[in-house]
Amino acid sequence: MMIGFIGLGIMGKPMAKNLLEAGYSLTVNDLNKGAVDELVAAGAKSLPTAKEVAAVSDVIITMLPNSPHVKEVVLGKGGVIEGAKPNSIVVDMSSISPIVSREVSAELAKKQVVMLDAPVSGGEPKAIDGSLAIMVGGPEEAFAKVEKILAVMGGSVTLVGEIGSGNITKLANQIMVASNIAGMSEALVLATKANVDPEKVFKAIRGGLAGSTVLDAKAPLVLAGNFKPGFRIDLHIKDLQNALDTAQSVGTPSPISEAAIEMMKSLSSEGKGSDDHGGLIQWYEKQAKVEVRS
Ligand code: NAD
């Protein structure tokens, strides 16, 4: 099975390397020549356009920043759609709007090319060790054909439903993560301003109902004043914007996402868009004129 891999960034590069290590033949493409050279040194072939990558591949994986990049790479001039063979499968692993996943899939279907949307959760460490949570939308038959490939990159691979379901699941994940971080920030700033040691608050409540993976991952970083990414605030803004667009299209309320995106945008406009999303606490700290540190 020949695999094409387009998008060799923080996530795509280690994911592609894991596929090479598992013995798959890979043809790669990225705008960043350094990343392409690294994969070629590891045993991949490279081709200069997405069209050419698609022409030699049975499965074409994309791992790109957002919806416009996926539209350009798949449907644009010199894109996947121009080269893909009938019955080949496009697996878009980027976190994009589910509405766009469906649009791109419909265009590919006109050329008898099937698409799955398969965004991931877990960040760079899990991309490196091949233990990402992968949430997939699309036809069961196509899923069955690529499940083994996805299992090389993921600790869990779950078919959730039809095309777009993968990205809807990812948006649900991102809404819950953002609201957890915002709740933690509000609570720790309150405790600090009220003269209660935030580290002791964290220790006291982490085993109770308020305990969470987010609290355990982010509170120690906040207490150390460490906002190095991780997952950048600007990427979380992108995901929440996609969540708001989707909520509007299906007619659901989203006051928590609205509040979280406003705080993140305010931080981004102050030059903190590349901070880790745990750095959201800085918005509360600024309003309360207090710093949460151990
Ligand atoms: P990134 O910006 O590091 O990588 C994107 C890559 O795409 C870059 O190498 C870029 O050169 C390439 N690219 C962009 N346009 C291209 C084009 N037209 N042709 C070829 N290559 C092109 O992003 P990332 O952190 O790897 O994230 C990728 C996706 O995964 C995003 O949707 C992100 O939200 C999602 N994600 C990221 C993380 C994380 O922790 N970084 C975690 C889970 C999910």
Residues 6+ apart with CB under 8 A from 235: 65, 95, 277
CA–CA distance from 117 to each of 71, 211, 269, 270 (Å)? 13, 31, 31, 34
What's this model's pTM, rounded to 2 decimal places?
A: 0.94
- Sequence spans of domains, the chain: 2-163, 168-288
Domains 2-163 and 168-288 share a fold: no
pLDDT value of residue 67: 96
Which candidate in 170, 218, 238, 272 is catalytic? 170
What span, in angstroms and rounded, lies between the C-alpha atoms of 27 and 16?
10
Asked if residue 160 lies in contact with residue 166, where contact means CB atoms within 8 angstroms, the answer is yes
Please work out whether the CB of residue 62 comes within 6 Å of at least one atom of ligand 1.
no
Q: And the tokens for 173?
A: 């994940």
Q: Which CATH architecture has domain 2-163?
A: 3-Layer(aba) Sandwich (3.40)
> What is the number of the ligand 1 atom nearest to the C-alpha of 96?
32
Helix ranges restricted to H, the chain: 12-21, 33-41, 50-55, 67-75, 80-83, 98-109, 123-129, 140-153, 165-193, 198-205, 213-223, 233-250, 255-267, 281-288
> What is the number of the ligand 1 atom nearest to the C-alpha of 66?
32
Q: Is 193 helix (H, G, I), strand (E, B) or coil?
A: helix
Q: What is the amino acid identity at position 18?
A: N
CA angle 19, 21, 26 (to 5 degrees): 45
Please work out whether the CB of residue 157 comes within 6 Å of at least one atom of ligand 1.
no
pLDDT value of residue 143: 98
Among this protein's residues, is 170 annotated catalytic? yes
From first to last of the 294 residues of the chain, give the pLDDT tens digit: 999 999 999 999 999 999 999 999 999 999 999 999 999 999 999 999 999 999 999 999 999 999 999 999 999 999 999 999 999 999 999 999 999 999 999 999 999 999 999 999 988 889 999 999 999 999 999 999 999 999 999 999 999 999 999 999 999 999 999 999 999 999 999 999 999 999 999 999 999 999 999 999 999 999 999 999 989 999 999 999 999 999 999 999 999 999 999 999 999 999 999 999 999 999 999 999 999 999
CATH class, domain 168-288, is mainly alpha
Alpha carbon of 30 to ligand 1 centroid (Å): 10
Least Cα distance to 171 among 60, 114, 247, 274 occurs for 247
Please work out whether the CB of residue 235 comes within 6 Å of at least one atom of ligand 1.
yes
Q: If you take atom 38 of ligand 1, which residue's CA is the nearest one?
A: 123
HSE of 102 in the Cβ direction (CA atoms, 13 Å)? Answer: 10
> Parallel, antiparallel, or unpaired: how do β-strands 59-62 and 25-29 relate?
unpaired
